[in-house]
Chain A
Amino acid sequence: MIKIYIDEKKCVGAGQCVMAAPAVFDQREEDGIVVLLHGQVDDAQAASVRKAAKLCPALAIRVVEE
């Protein structure tokens, strides 16, 4: 299991996280700021979430291993 934290103030709405892990991240319609659909995911999805965190151009995603 991993826990996911997002920083809306850092987010720049690039959508890279949604492309990497569409089951976990979405964007607000009005400004594109990240919406976290699941704050916690299992190991099957962990790799795509880690990829999202790494690709985020604002480093707005933090992953904590449980």
Chain B
Amino acid sequence: MQRIVVAGASAAGLSAVQTLREQGFDGELVLVDGERHAGYDRPPLSKQALATAVDAASLALREPAFYAEHRIDHRRDVRATALDLQARTVALDSGDELAFDGLIIATGLRARLLPGLPAVPGVHTLRTLDDAVTLRAQLRPGARLVVIGAGFLGGEVAATARALGLDVALVDPLPQPMARQLGPLLAAAVMDLHRAQGVRVLAGRTVSQFETRDGRLGGVHLDDGTHLPCDVVLVAIGSLPNTEWLQGSGLVVDDGVVCDEFCGAAPGVHAAGDVARWKLPRSGRLTRLEHRQNATEQGIAAARNLLGAREPYDPLPYFWTDLHGTRIQVFGHIGEADRLLPQAGVPGRPGFAALASDGQRVTAAIGWGAPRPVRRLSALVGQPVDEAVSSLVPTP
């Protein structure tokens, strides 16, 4: 292989280029970076980056010297616009065309917008560092914020804004926000946590209209007639994979780049991170993970497999969220119908740790302000539940 192109230079793309060099790839390595800032970490954007002033350097995923040390042709503020699998070229919006022998697609996600509602000054989304800087300037103590979407991002921004002294309302279309990610019991505990910290939670409601005054945001109208006067809105209703540039390329694109169990999308073409929807080796189910940990691990896997390793990618998924001073951590995947098996503490209080089970196997380990216990329990994920539970020494 003479030249490998990595499209996307955030956590997954950077993990891939680093791995390619570590594995001995000695050819040309081109990193197509769609952002103005060199690769930075995104989890802090809904936390520290809104609470205090941060810059690209403090969030950088790699030292500035990394790019030269790894002999990376780093194309900044340039996006891939088309892939030609026959000619084996990637077209860029700079007008250049890059021939490649190997390609890793790690173009990530962008924020979803509310369909049918016009853009109004004061209505924000949050995906990039520039988004965070813009939003932070609006989060003044005493201001009124409406967050639309009570998922990880929306919940974290609501919590951060509350700590900054804003008046915060959290709106979600589902009657039980977060139930799909955490199961009904913990999802309810998350909403209780928000309410206990003074966030107004409005579940089962959608936005029907933004109210404007002199061209500026004045409030939000909900479908049940509720009117929320506000100064700032954050729309946090999920993300869309950046795959438009692959249209007509012959790759299968369906809620992400569809891959086999080796993260392969076509011969010599692999995908990693938020954009990759790959086949789980054991179940054969297609899955896409929007987790920070997955970006790193799948970047490594895609790079190794591009170089011929043929290792099925079978990670233990991990995510965390920080809400009002409590860190919630999950290893594995909690099914909505799974049963919770508490191992320590009281649900919804710091120090709570549990396993989740589908009746046969342990599906997840959960920590609620319990980082050490959850890490220990994580070793049991995937094991038959009876064996797993009997292996645990009861704590007196």
Contact = CB atoms under 8 A, between A and B. Distances in A.
Contact of A54 (B292, B300, B320, B378): B300
Given A12-B43, A16-B318, A57-B43, A32 B293 contact: no
Interface residues of A, number: 17
A29 B41 contact: no
A31 B297 contact: no
Contact of B371 (A13, A19, A54, A58): A13
B17 to A, nearest CB: 12
A28 B293 CA distance: 21
A55 B297 CA distance: 7
A59 interface: yes
A35 to B, nearest CB: 10
Given A31-B371, A54-B15, A14 B318 contact: yes
A18 interface: yes
Nearest to A13: B371
Contacts of A31: 327, 371
Interface residues on B, range: 10 to 19
Contacts of B374: 15
A40 interface: no
Contacts of B282: none
B372 A14 contact: no
B18 interface: yes
Q: For chain A, what secondary structure do more than half of its interface residues adopt (helix, strand, loop), or is it mixed?
A: loop
A27 interface: yes
B375 A57 contact: no
Contact of A32 (B41, B61, B300, B371): B371
Contacts of B375: 14-15, 18-19, 27, 32
B242 interface: no
B81 interface: no
Contacts of B61: 59
B329 A14 contact: yes
Interface string B36-49: 00000101000000
Nearest to A31: B371
B208 interface: no
Given A12-B320, A13-B327, A57 B296 contact: yes
B111 to A, nearest CB: 21
A61 to B, nearest CB: 13
B296 A54 contact: yes
B371 A57 contact: no
Q: From B293, B300, B375, name the one whose CB has the most chain A CB atoms within 10 angstroms.
A: B375
Given A54-B18, A59-B61, A15 B41 contact: no
Given A32-B371, A32-B372, A59-B61, 19 more contacts: A12-B43, A13-B329, A14-B293, A14-B329, A14-B375, A15-B371, A15-B374, A15-B378, A16-B318, A19-B375, A19-B378, A28-B372, A29-B372, A31-B371, A54-B15, A55-B293, A55-B296, A57-B43, A57-B296
11 contacts: A13-B327, A13-B371, A14-B318, A14-B320, A15-B372, A19-B375, A19-B378, A31-B327, A31-B371, A57-B292, A58-B41
Interface of A: 12-16, 18-19, 27-29, 31-32, 54-55, 57-59
5 pairs of A and B residues whose beta carbons are closest in the complex: A32-B371, A15-B375, A13-B371, A57-B292, A57-B293
